[in-house]
Chains A and B, each alone.
Chain A
């Protein structure tokens, strides 16, 4: 279910934007003349000729301040940075609204050219240059691989576990670690990469990220060619100063934007101004080789989520996408001149059973009993419908209910057994095991009021079935209770993506049931069937075969019931109605991934 929908996703985005554009175009006539004598008209010297971007600003409200240009280092990998750097650092693809890759063919193209060995050919656009004029080519590609693959070990530093640290700081080596060391000549724009082991999610790994000529220069090398040479020869001594710059040189203190020679842009916008604690500005990159963006200027204002609604109403911001709450949704829907979009996000709530050692939940009938008394429908109705009236109970763990493949995935996978809450059956199972009155401690983050309500609903329902549900809310469940296995049921949310490879660590047998060993598999679930299916899935390139495998895993998970999905979290987006070109995007990359389409109706 990965690559097949690439084209479809792209088309969907294009169609959606066209619709939005068309809809907003129609609104122009409704503008009251009173608005025009203000200033909006004055600041537009001449109408957009279609050559460059139109001379307008669009303001997005961001909750977190920007910190780092290198957002693939372990320090810099924050969503706040990703949102700023979308369309500032260009790349081969973006996440589309359905969580699948949407290629950006103006940057370059890449495709699978051989299955055995799995080989990908990358073609960077011949015109693609950094905003300082340096072509985007081989050196940038190799640096991206060297930094993100963890291929080089640091000569002196070690991690806390005593392992050698990687030379380049990286947020994760997944994907790149499977590459055969790539090679290319200085100036190459076409690069071929082979995978050592087949990787089903190959579309995600495209290397180019940071400007290699800057890293080389600041690392004391004459040019990117020297960096290519050092990578070819695995010359750690030569790479060390460059890596040190890469790891720390792109970190910025609030308001202290590095000069453009350090942070050249490879996308449609470049960072031009940063007021500490206030805003960061990106403007049209004049050296961008492709279609110019719609608006010349995009501004991110740093603003606490609670203040965004009034700021939107006062037209100080144009777009906001905070965590929704019922009050906020109602407030926004009551405002004139504001478009509100509520949908589902790539985050789903679930309960996990503790399957460690001889915990009573190792008895499948008890898991079943608890699953049958869970008021899943009631939770959605009471807690989610006030925000998103279309929300439904989620019946899959690997696929989100808004994804096109969902219906296929849940068809006959076993969720039907739990479609209806069945207190009587739940009690019968409990009595059969002679466990009536068993205490179930539900551990969750107590700071989340919605989860407090969820536990209350579960207690009401499951106590009727004979369980004794205990609210075990914790200030730090992920640091203490969950890794220690000090819970009966854990309730939290997974933030996922359209690519199921990320779910492997949640359901594959952990290395051990210790705090260090379980990782994402907090329930400590182990099934050889699921392990084998995942191993196959991670190396399966064919989309239809992937779908079948995902379905088999899902069916097995419903049979074994290590976790039960509850619902997807709502996604909220609101924008001023004179702003157009907004594509809601519930992925982690967010609405900012298409910021180059934002525009303001004049």
Chain B
């Protein structure tokens, strides 16, 4: 393994070196680095600046030598300055942080949603749900991201914010949503005709009722959960988690889940002093405590199903924690809504300038700025994950060991979650590693359209300015992370799949 890794690393370094020369050369000849100074008729000014820039960028030196000058500086740890004299490391730091903020949430969400939906559509192969999702996945995958982004801004931000002034949903719209939801749940539920029709009916009524109530009570002008909704959601998620992980045949996991939800709810009622003005450290700590409590309750109440009960407890605890988090955040919605002049969804940037709110208001502000770019990124990368997961899951479901599991009498849920799902994730894991590697390079178009000056923006701007140092900094980080994550993917693959041996 060590030899394999070392060999890979050495090869990668040479590849990067060769590629860095090509990138440097390409950037240097991409146009006129003085373009912004051309045409100024007052010659004195332009000439002085051009002379200074010529010197700063070593333009009198041939490109090849310029590359070696850059490389020499790099070995001393100096990324150089851009053509305006700013240090590139100073530009790089905020760019990396902006990109990570923007892309991590989207990537994680794309993985979670993509894998979930991929699994469901594999289990309901050739159902209406499967066909619809296949169609949607291909549709989203082939949409040009700049167009999606502009549409999202027009309808998700501008029109939505306009609508928020008088947030009522017209009856026909409610009905359309209810029918769609009913059809989706019908397809997901599968099984007998009666079961499917029940799903359709229940989903239709629930969706229509919920939307109607929210619209009539003016919930959208001051969204919030409140005690009752938190209670319902907490116990609802307890039941859901139990259903997915353990099923209802044995009682202990269900008890563990319900007990966890109850503890969470009690905590919620008493949490005001702690959660009034928290910070991320505290939230992280509370999440750890919640997991520990969930595990503990599962351990105590688990009985024979102790492992399942612990898992159910931990997942329930996290979900309930999430519900409480959302509830607190929405409590500060009123203040925030006023502060942004009634337009909570933003089309540009990472935050409202000079926004000085508490933890929850800032959280809302970030959410309002992140939601559209996240959706744009999600729509596109989610397609890959659903397709991969679906294919991989279908392959696994036809394996001998799955048939063996079924034939020894395991329930379908156990077969799926314990035997099929885990193995189906192995190829997806490598995909995730690649994806995270690529993510660091930024999302050039999404960043640009949503006004985030991250890595992609730095790269494009450097290229347009014919300014090699920022482009090279981008290349080092993006190229380096792809190399590292590719290697991690190989290692993870070898580790997860015992059939593979690296030598």
- Would you call B41 and A494 a contact (CB within 8 A)? yes
Residues of A within 8 Å of B457, CB to CB, are 277
Residues of A within 8 Å of B52, CB to CB, are 74-75, 169
Bound state CA distance, A202 and B47, in angstroms? 21
Q: Which of B34, B35, B354 contacts A273 (CB 8 A)?
A: B354
What does the 1/0 interface line of B442-486 toward A look like (CB < 8 Å)?
000000111111100100000000000000000000000000000
Bound state CA distance, A67 and B88, in angstroms? 12
What does the 1/0 interface line of B3-32 toward A look like (CB < 8 Å)?
000000000000000000000000000111
Q: How far is the CB of A525 from chain B (nearest CB, A)?
A: 15
Question: Chain A interface: which of B114-122, B154-162, B204-212, B395-403?
Answer: B154-162
- Would you call B32 and A275 a contact (CB within 8 A)? no
Residues of A within 8 Å of B90, CB to CB, are 253-254, 256
Q: Which of A34, A256, A314, A501 contacts B343 (CB 8 A)?
A: A314
Bound state CA distance, A505 and B337, in angstroms? 56
- Would you call B354 and A57 a contact (CB within 8 A)? yes
What does the 1/0 interface line of A458-498 toward B look like (CB < 8 Å)?
00000000000000000111110000000000001111110
Contact A299/B451 with A174-B42, A254-B91 known, Cβ cut-off 8 Å: no
Bound state CA distance, A78 and B86, in angstroms? 13
Bound state CA distance, A251 and B349, in angstroms? 24
- Would you call B150 and A310 a contact (CB within 8 A)? yes
Q: How far is the CB of A269 from chain B (nearest CB, A)?
A: 14
Determine if A589 is an interface residue (Cβ-Cβ < 8 Å): no
Q: How far is the CB of A26 from chain B (nearest CB, A)?
A: 21
- Would you call B153 and A310 a contact (CB within 8 A)? yes
| Number of chain B residues close to chain A: CB under 8 A | 65
Residues of A within 8 Å of B150, CB to CB, are 310
Residues of B within 8 Å of A479, CB to CB, are 32, 34
Q: Which of B30, B32, B43, B51 contacts A160 (CB 8 A)?
A: B51
From 138 to 176 in chain B, residues with beta carbon under 8 angstroms from any chain A beta carbon are: 150, 153-154, 157-158, 161, 165-166
Determine if A311 is an interface residue (Cβ-Cβ < 8 Å): yes
Residues of A within 8 Å of B41, CB to CB, are 494-497, 502-503, 505-506, 520
- Would you call B94 and A478 a contact (CB within 8 A)? no
Determine if B342 is an interface residue (Cβ-Cβ < 8 Å): yes
Measured CB to CB, the nearest residue on chain A to B452 is A277
- Would you call A68 and B161 a contact (CB within 8 A)? no
- Would you call A278 and B453 a contact (CB within 8 A)? yes
Interface of A is mostly: loop
Q: Which of B35, B95, B451 contacts A304 (CB 8 A)?
A: B451
What does the 1/0 interface line of B33-67 toward A look like (CB < 8 Å)?
01110111111110111011111100010000000
Residues of B within 8 Å of A35, CB to CB, are 165, 342
- Would you call A281 and B347 a contact (CB within 8 A)? no
Determine if A288 is an interface residue (Cβ-Cβ < 8 Å): no
What does the 1/0 interface line of A49-73 toward B look like (CB < 8 Å)?
0000000010100000101100000
- Would you call A39 and B347 a contact (CB within 8 A)? no
What does the 1/0 interface line of A226-258 toward B look like (CB < 8 Å)?
000000000000000000000000011111100
Measured CB to CB, the nearest residue on chain A to B350 is A278
Contact A275/B340 with A34-B165, A75-B52, A478-B32 known, Cβ cut-off 8 Å: no
Bound state CA distance, A174 and B41, in angstroms? 13
Contact A277/B94 with A299-B353, A478-B38 known, Cβ cut-off 8 Å: yes
Residues of B within 8 Å of A447, CB to CB, are 31
- Would you call B349 and A279 a contact (CB within 8 A)? yes
- Would you call B87 and A311 a contact (CB within 8 A)? no
Residues of B within 8 Å of A520, CB to CB, are 41, 43
Measured CB to CB, the nearest residue on chain A to B95 is A277
Q: Which of A170, A314, A502 contacts B347 (CB 8 A)?
A: A314
Residues of A within 8 Å of B85, CB to CB, are 67-68, 75-76, 251
Determine if A276 is an interface residue (Cβ-Cβ < 8 Å): yes
Q: How far is the CB of A202 from chain B (nearest CB, A)?
A: 15
- Would you call B453 and A478 a contact (CB within 8 A)? no
Determine if B98 is an interface residue (Cβ-Cβ < 8 Å): yes
Measured CB to CB, the nearest residue on chain A to B343 is A315
Q: How far is the CB of A175 from chain B (nearest CB, A)?
A: 9
Bound state CA distance, A193 and B82, in angstroms? 38
Q: How far is the CB of B136 from chain A (nearest CB, A)?
A: 26
Residues of A within 8 Å of B339, CB to CB, are 39, 43
- Would you call A279 and B353 a contact (CB within 8 A)? yes
Measured CB to CB, the nearest residue on chain B to A39 is B338
Residues of A within 8 Å of B98, CB to CB, are 276-277
Residues of B within 8 Å of A301, CB to CB, are 348-349, 353, 451
Bound state CA distance, A528 and B233, in angstroms? 88
- Would you call A497 and B42 a contact (CB within 8 A)? yes
Measured CB to CB, the nearest residue on chain B to A41 is B338
Determine if B346 is an interface residue (Cβ-Cβ < 8 Å): yes
- Would you call A277 and B35 a contact (CB within 8 A)? no
- Would you call A174 and B45 a contact (CB within 8 A)? yes
Q: Which of B31, B38, B340, B350 contacts A492 (CB 8 A)?
A: B38
Bound state CA distance, A310 and B454, in angstroms? 20
- Would you call B346 and A314 a contact (CB within 8 A)? yes
Q: How far is the CB of A259 from chain B (nearest CB, A)?
A: 16
From 303 to 323 in chain A, residues with beta carbon under 8 angstroms from any chain B beta carbon are: 303-304, 306-307, 310-311, 313-317
- Would you call A275 and B353 a contact (CB within 8 A)? yes
Q: Which of B42, B95, B348 contacts A311 (CB 8 A)?
A: B348
What does the 1/0 interface line of A278-305 toward B look like (CB < 8 Å)?
1101000000000000000101011110
Q: How far is the CB of B99 from chain A (nearest CB, A)?
A: 10
Residues of B within 8 Å of A160, CB to CB, are 51, 54-55, 60
Determine if A126 is an interface residue (Cβ-Cβ < 8 Å): no
Q: How far is the CB of B421 from chain A (nearest CB, A)?
A: 41
Bound state CA distance, A171 and B43, in angstroms? 11
Bound state CA distance, A506 and B47, in angstroms? 13
From 157 to 192 in chain A, residues with beta carbon under 8 angstroms from any chain B beta carbon are: 159-160, 169-174
- Would you call A502 and B340 a contact (CB within 8 A)? no
Measured CB to CB, the nearest residue on chain B to A315 is B343
Contact A495/B40 with A278-B350, A307-B348 known, Cβ cut-off 8 Å: yes
Determine if A40 is an interface residue (Cβ-Cβ < 8 Å): yes
Bound state CA distance, A447 and B55, in angstroms? 26
Measured CB to CB, the nearest residue on chain A to B345 is A314
Q: Which of A297, A478, A505 contacts B34 (CB 8 A)?
A: A478
Residues of B within 8 Å of A505, CB to CB, are 41, 43
Residues of B within 8 Å of A475, CB to CB, are 30-32
Q: How far is the CB of B465 from chain A (nearest CB, A)?
A: 10
Determine if A109 is an interface residue (Cβ-Cβ < 8 Å): no
Q: How far is the CB of B173 from chain A (nearest CB, A)?
A: 21
What does the 1/0 interface line of B63-103 toward A look like (CB < 8 Å)?
00000000000000000000011110011001100100000
Determine if B351 is an interface residue (Cβ-Cβ < 8 Å): yes
| New A-B contacts (14) at CB < 8 Å, excluding given A38-B337, A75-B56, A171-B48 | A42-B338, A74-B52, A273-B354, A301-B348, A306-B448, A310-B150, A310-B154, A310-B158, A311-B451, A445-B35, A478-B34, A479-B32, A496-B42, A497-B41
> When A and B form their complex, which 7 residue pairs have the shortest distance between CB atoms, in order from nearest?
A39-B338, A253-B90, A277-B453, A38-B342, A276-B94, A502-B42, A74-B52
Enumerate chain B interface residues (CB-CB to A < 8 A).
30-32, 34-36, 38-45, 47-49, 51-56, 60, 84-87, 90-91, 94-95, 98, 150, 153-154, 157-158, 161, 165-166, 337-343, 345-351, 353-354, 448-454, 457
Enumerate chain A interface residues (CB-CB to B < 8 A).
34-35, 38-40, 42-43, 57, 59, 65, 67-68, 74-78, 159-160, 169-174, 251-256, 273, 275-279, 281, 297, 299, 301-304, 306-307, 310-311, 313-317, 347, 445, 447, 475-479, 492-497, 501-503, 505-506, 519-520
8 contacts across the A-B interface (CB closer than 8 A): A74-B51, A75-B52, A275-B351, A314-B153, A314-B346, A347-B39, A475-B32, A495-B39
